[in-house]
Chains A and B, each alone.
Chain A
Amino acid sequence: MLVKTADKIIKKSFETTDISPLITFRIFFGVTLFITILRFWVNGWIEELYINPEYHFNFIHNIDVLPDIGIYIIFTVLLVLSIFITFGLFYRTSTSTFFLLFTYIELIDKTYYLNHYYLVSVLTFYLIFLPANRAFSLDCYFNPLLKSNLCSKWHISLIKCQLSIVYFYAGLAKINKDWLIRAQPLYTWLPGKFGIPVIGKFAHLKITALTFSWIGCIYDLTIWLFLWIKKTRKFAFFAVIVFHIMTGILFPRIGMFPMIMIAATTIFLPLNFHIKCLELLSIKKYETKSERISRKKKKSVLFIYYLMVLFLGIQALMPLRYHVFSNNIYWDEIGYRFSWRVMLMEKNGFTNIVIIDPRKKIQYQLDQDLYLSKFQQQQMKSQPDMILQFVNYIGDEFKEINGYPPVINIHSRMSLNGRKSQPFFIDTVNVYKNNADKFLHDFKS
């Protein structure tokens, strides 16, 4: 039964369809990539975030930042590649190089982790294996043999499924008492938005925060369904535009997220939309006549298909890993990243690192300004893995200088989602090379 169903799915996946949605996705997404990288240049973030800091919270131990000139070269190349992707030039090389370089940039420092940058990496990864340059591209212009007006249905469904995962898990994460009953963190954030027309007058009221919380949750949980359903698709896309524009106005620091989501979600729109877009962008009339090219399933094509399915499966399961590892995901943040938890909590307080010299019997509070930017300190103070990573770095430095290890305690209090603060780390535990069973206080809700 399962084998028959799997066969049916595979057969359906390889049915051909018009390639236009994939092409417009490449173009729109390419434009958002360009703007994303350009913002790094315009805002001076290359220097501020990657070159100036002495220390980086790298995701992988040996992946560290290149010398200054290397970083500038990377961002220059990324800017050029985003243009190449938009225009479909040297497509495979462009997409794979962009994926590698952008992902490298993201792996340099956890401080700058953003869900939408993670999405950029994922979608760029998919693009490597999708034939999004087989029409309306400079690759086709220079090599007309490449041209095809058709692709397999799975090429388009893959992107749709990924976006559905993003929305679904963003909505699922909102099903919790803080979001739906206490209206947090929106009730902490919204009162400051009184300057916004219409909404601003009611921004300080809890009913406003509650309404927005529920709308946000229901939207995320259901919008992907309505996008899949033909009858509700247009209305759903309108809702996508309204929702993301509103979040962009309310929370400007969300940056490129609204634009990326609106651009990517166009892939759900009817074929006519994509054809009209390409006609508008065309120098000459866009040919809609289908050209049937042999779609014999080569082993390599099947291999890529299974690889994408596997990756999609991993994407579907990744957000659930906290069930295995975490006691309270908002407190210990184990499994928080890479799980589409977008704008979900406000956690703030202070974290002091105290170094104890066990031989000289003195202790001192580390001056974090000597190692970390203010932004790094702000991000680190509420994320236990970053604190422990930094502590180990400081402890290693102490050991190298003194010849023996220090004892390092963390004195910290955190306020989570509008609650009174509570002790965060257990301040008597030595967290350097921490092997303690427990180093965080239990969270009291």
Chain B
Amino acid sequence: MQISKMIFVIFKRFQALLLSLLLACFIISCDGGEGALDPNGQDDHTELLTNQVNNVIIPSISNYKDATETLYLSANNFCSSINDSNLNSFRDAYHNTYKSYQSAALHNYYANINYDLVNTTNLFPIDTLLLKNIIISTTYNFSSESQKRANGFPAIDYLIYSSQNTVGLFTSDEKKCSYLLKLTESIKNKAVQLDNMWGGSLKENFISNDGVEIGSSIHVQLNSALSYYEDHIRENKVGLPIGRIGPLDSPIEADPTKIEAYYQSLYDGNDLFALSLVKESIQEMEGLYLGGNTLRNSSINSGYDRLLISRGHTEVDSDIKSQFDLIYAKIDERTSISGNTDLYDSIQGLITIMKSDLFPLLNIQDADGKNDGD
């Protein structure tokens, strides 16, 4: 009791001095350093999430849907009059749709249909024997596990680029057109379903599921996008063909057949189209980061860049943007994916920055939140 009395007396005597010292220290802390008093700092993420939906997700999915409708129409035109002109039109529609797919597929979250989208629309390489048997049988199930390796864009690639005489092959075998029409219809239907979902309550739910906690839209979007980026962009598009699985793993045997649009690469004698697909997917990732697909090199910050900048992390924002520049430079440097370890490393570089800087600085957790934490 005497000790407590003593402390009380000391405090009373020196409280003015103590309070002044505290106030001085506090004022010194309020310097203009990192992220101090930022008038542009967001007080919630409604604007960011609205930008994501209106300028990134829905445009990409909507463009993809439109492209699949054009693809289907073009397939009908080709099959109703099989000739080189219609084949070229169909090929153009296929190119456009395949590119649009790259953007839509990144947003493989919330809508369950997306699982189907990724796994039945772009699993490569295809099993050519399986595909031939399915065409012969005329029994199609584009959602089944058993036909997943004879499906989607890789199947179209095989049908229209595996031969120098595509028109002849289609003319002599009507079952090919039958399959092609059903396949493009299936691709279109899935795209329409996806577009409808995002046009409905999913959009409002995405915007309203605010915050950065586990399960929030930001948490789900960033984690899902990064997971897609690692598996489907880094590994499937580049890693497997060049023989790199995981950035720290020993090389495996390179397999140049394991690229997107493989048969077109053989047909053209280069991987330029496959590289363009990689570029589309990277651009979508960049659009997600910037909050808009047309904001590259813009001074407008309306995505995750804005969150970083508002908290004083301009250096990390700059690193991310520079990494995208590097990836594009590596894509443009070559005409082949084979042996393109520089491209792989540059794609990997973005993962490193996102995991080690973007996620921690925005307080995005990657665990499932079990148990308390203190």
Contacts and interface: CB of A to CB of B under 8 A. Distances in A.
Interface in A187-233: 187-189, 191-192, 194-195, 200-207, 210, 214, 218, 225, 228-232
The CB with the most chain A CB atoms within 10 A, among B5, B248, B369, is that of: B248
B29 interface: yes
Contacts of B5: 229
A230 B365 CA distance: 44
A407 to B, nearest CB: 13
A374 B366 contact: yes
A209 B366 CA distance: 24
Given A207-B37, A363-B248, A194 B43 contact: yes
B359 A348 contact: yes
Interface in A335-361: 342-343, 346-350, 352, 354, 361
Contacts of B37: 205-207
Contacts of A115: 374
B362 to A, nearest CB: 8
Contacts of B250: 361-364
B372 A206 contact: no
Interface in A153-167: none
A377 B365 CA distance: 12
Contacts of A270: none
A254 interface: yes
B361 A255 contact: no
B248 A254 contact: no
Contacts of B310: 204
A255 B372 CA distance: 5
B215 interface: no
A49 interface: yes
Contacts, number: 163
Given A182-B34, A191-B41, A253 B311 contact: no
A378 interface: yes
A56 interface: no
Contact of B374 (A206, A232, A343): A343
A411 interface: yes
Contacts of A218: 22
The CB with the most chain B CB atoms within 10 A, among A180, A191, A228, is that of: A191
Interface size class of B (residues with CB under 8 A): 35 or more
B363 A225 contact: no
A36 to B, nearest CB: 10
A373 B367 CA distance: 9
B269 interface: no
A418 B311 contact: yes
A48 interface: yes
A225 B15 CA distance: 15
B138 to A, nearest CB: 41
A315 B41 CA distance: 43
B341 to A, nearest CB: 16
Interface of B: 1, 4-5, 7-8, 22, 25-26, 28-30, 33-38, 41-45, 210-213, 246-250, 310-311, 313, 315-316, 352, 355-357, 359-361, 363, 365-374
Interface of A: 43, 45, 48-49, 112, 114-116, 180-183, 187-189, 191-192, 194-195, 200-207, 210, 214, 218, 225, 228-232, 253-257, 342-343, 346-350, 352, 354, 361-365, 373-375, 377-378, 411, 413-415, 418, 420-421
